[in-house]
Chain A
Amino acid sequence: MSPKWRSGLIFGLAIAVCGAAIYLPTLRQRVKRTAKLVQETEEQARRELTQAITGNPNGPRVKTKLFWASGADGAKLTAVTVELPLADDPVLRAKQVLNTLLAGPVDADLRTLPPDAALLEFYLMPDGTGIADFSEAIGTSIPSGIESEQLAVDSITRTLEANVPQVRQLKILIHGQEVDTLAGHLDLTGTFVVSTKPAATPPAKPAKVS
């Protein structure tokens, strides 16, 4: 290879290296942005999927009590009554009220749960144990602390108590897994009492008269 070609090749390589050095940070930023977008889209898709489960929108609207933080004292909960077309099925009903709770109040300061958290699934066991499966955001986006974590769980349990009497106690999972704590403080290994009232017995069917 002649010296002319060699210097041309070195020059070309130098330009390529410089170009790559300039372009790489931009590329890295784009990759990060895309990853974030994908994550957000997945989260959004999950929320849409779960929130799509609503009762009959044309059905009768029922007064529903939701527990959000009180404005005066952020450490306490206050009941807000809204009208929702709640389903009769306790599982659907629990999903509806919890999704509305997650959607949050108009005033963001009254939120008890992070806006990007989603209810992935809700199950109801025959003994009245409700199992609420939330996305990771409920643990990662909530303000860390005993007070804030307890308030979040209280808002869930009190909302269920007010609207879904079939739920006696609540187990919280995060992305299908049992975890030690919500965000480093509150114990999620056990169940939370939702209602201490005696379980309502279904009305007895009238005996057939032959």
Chain B
Amino acid sequence: MLLGMRSGLLVPFSNERTGGRSRFAVLTTPFVVCAALSFAGWAASSPRRGPFGTRAKQAPPVQSPVAQAAGTAQAIPASPAVQPVGLNVVVLDPAHGGTDYGARGTEGIRESEVVMEFTVQVRRALESQGFQVVQTRMGNENPSFDDRSAVANAQQGAVFVSLHIGSTGLPGTVRVYANEELPAETDATGLIPWERAQGPFLSLSRKLGDFVQGQMALRFKGSPNTVQSAAVRQLRTTAAPAIAVEVSSVTVENRNDLDRMAPGVADAIAKGVAAFKPSYVVAGAAGVRP
């Protein structure tokens, strides 16, 4: 699958490896995106305020985060109405769901259930900081990896936070992961391969991860001070600064031990994302994605 940079807009198409649900999403996403593009184009040409708030005034074209991260001058295709857009959306991804329980403890603790409860608190903390929050799942469904990434890839000025409860690690600690080295690739037509969508955002993901991990270390003794590297599948196809937060662990004897961590985890994520916000200015305009 490729993320097509049409006027800077990431358009997913043709993924042979995705399953039925994902294929559906792949087929429908371009139509949804086209509709959104048309609407946004109309909104851009209109002098009045948009329905979602005040639009920033036009600014000179800025280098895309793709180019910023890669340290090259290879910017997105020029757009007449490019303007800087700040971070305003956080995509929360409660991992697993449905028949996939994720990690399971001997006391019957299921990762898929605990992360949903963490998500509620993280969402509340983020909203209190003024962020708009989008979730990849609201109930006990299990979207595919690509479907979850598609939610993030459809946002503008978003970061992606995937929530996990591990089955190892010192109970009461939290680790934040960014993806391992992933070369930023574009093909001759300027398309970013869907399979490598995280590549251009890797340095931003590390920065976000360091902010959040630093906050975790203040609250949970024994947690690392800096972001960890791992080949997390969910992050690879996400075209935004993306981290995975893993809380230890489902092996606790009492579920309350985990529940007590939720407010601290939520606060740490919200403060970490807020601290990261000034460093994330993406090239964008109405209907234009980095």
A interface residue numbers (CB < 8 A to B): 74-75, 143-151, 153, 180-181, 184-190, 192
Q: Tell yes or no: B148 within 8 A of A by CB.
A: no
Neighbouring B residues of A146 by C-beta, 8 Å: 164, 166, 175, 177, 230, 232, 244, 246
Q: Is the beta-carbon distance between A144 and B167 smaller than 8 angstroms?
A: yes
Q: Is the beta-carbon distance between A192 and B231 smaller than 8 angstroms?
A: yes
Q: Is the beta-carbon distance between A186 and B145 smaller than 8 angstroms?
A: no
Q: Is the beta-carbon distance between A186 and B230 smaller than 8 angstroms?
A: yes
Knowing A150-B230, A184-B96, A187-B231, say if A145 contacts B249 (CB, 8 Å). Answer: yes
Q: Is the beta-carbon distance between A189 and B195 smaller than 8 angstroms?
A: yes
Q: Is the beta-carbon distance between A75 and B111 smaller than 8 angstroms?
A: no
Q: Is the beta-carbon distance between B164 and A187 smaller than 8 angstroms?
A: no
Closest 10 CB pairs of A and B: A145-B166, A143-B167, A187-B233, A144-B103, A187-B231, A148-B168, A150-B230, A145-B167, A181-B233, A146-B246
Q: Is the beta-carbon distance between B232 and A184 smaller than 8 angstroms?
A: no
Q: Tell yes or no: B257 within 8 A of A by CB.
A: no
Neighbouring B residues of A184 by C-beta, 8 Å: 95-96, 100, 102
Q: Is the beta-carbon distance between B231 and A147 smaller than 8 angstroms?
A: no
Neighbouring A residues of B244 by C-beta, 8 Å: 146, 185
Complex: A177 Cα to B279 Cα, angstroms? 41
Complex: A137 Cα to B152 Cα, angstroms? 33
User: Looking across the interface, which residue of chain B has its beta carbon closest to that of A145?
Assistant: B166
8 other A-B residue contacts (CB within 8 Å) besides A145-B169, A185-B232, A185-B234: A74-B168, A144-B102, A144-B104, A145-B166, A147-B175, A180-B233, A184-B100, A192-B231
Where chain B touches its partner, the secondary structure class is: mixed
Q: Is the beta-carbon distance between B246 and A145 smaller than 8 angstroms?
A: yes
One of A75, A145, A185 near B233 (C-beta < 8 A): A185
User: Looking across the interface, which residue of chain A has its beta carbon closest to that of B231?
Assistant: A187
User: Looking across the interface, which residue of chain B has its beta carbon closest to that of A154?
Assistant: B230
Q: Is the beta-carbon distance between B232 and A186 smaller than 8 angstroms?
A: yes
Neighbouring A residues of B103 by C-beta, 8 Å: 143-145
Q: Tell yes or no: B207 within 8 A of A by CB.
A: no
Complex: A126 Cα to B165 Cα, angstroms? 40
Neighbouring B residues of A188 by C-beta, 8 Å: 233
Q: Can you give 26 contacting A-B residue pairs, CB < 8 Å?
A: A74-B168, A74-B170, A143-B103, A144-B102, A144-B111, A145-B166, A145-B168, A145-B169, A146-B166, A146-B232, A146-B244, A147-B168, A147-B175, A147-B246, A148-B167, A149-B230, A184-B95, A184-B100, A185-B164, A186-B230, A186-B233, A187-B231, A187-B232, A188-B233, A189-B195, A189-B233
Complex: A187 Cα to B165 Cα, angstroms? 17
User: Looking across the interface, which residue of chain B has its beta carbon closest to that of A73?
Assistant: B170
Neighbouring B residues of A149 by C-beta, 8 Å: 230
Q: Tell yes or no: B271 within 8 A of A by CB.
A: no
- B245-289 CB contacts (< 8 Å) to partner A: 246, 248-249
Q: Tell yes or no: B236 within 8 A of A by CB.
A: yes
When each residue 155-174 of chain B gets 1 if its CB lies under 8 Å from chain A and 0 otherwise, what string results? 00000000011111110000
Neighbouring B residues of A143 by C-beta, 8 Å: 103, 166-168
Q: Is the beta-carbon distance between A148 and B166 smaller than 8 angstroms?
A: yes
Complex: A89 Cα to B78 Cα, angstroms? 55
Q: Is the beta-carbon distance between A147 and B166 smaller than 8 angstroms?
A: yes
One of B104, B165, B167, B231 near A190 (C-beta < 8 A): B231
B276 nearest CB across to chain A (Å): 20
Complex: A187 Cα to B238 Cα, angstroms? 13
Neighbouring A residues of B166 by C-beta, 8 Å: 143-148
Neighbouring B residues of A186 by C-beta, 8 Å: 230-233
Q: Is the beta-carbon distance between B230 and A180 smaller than 8 angstroms?
A: no
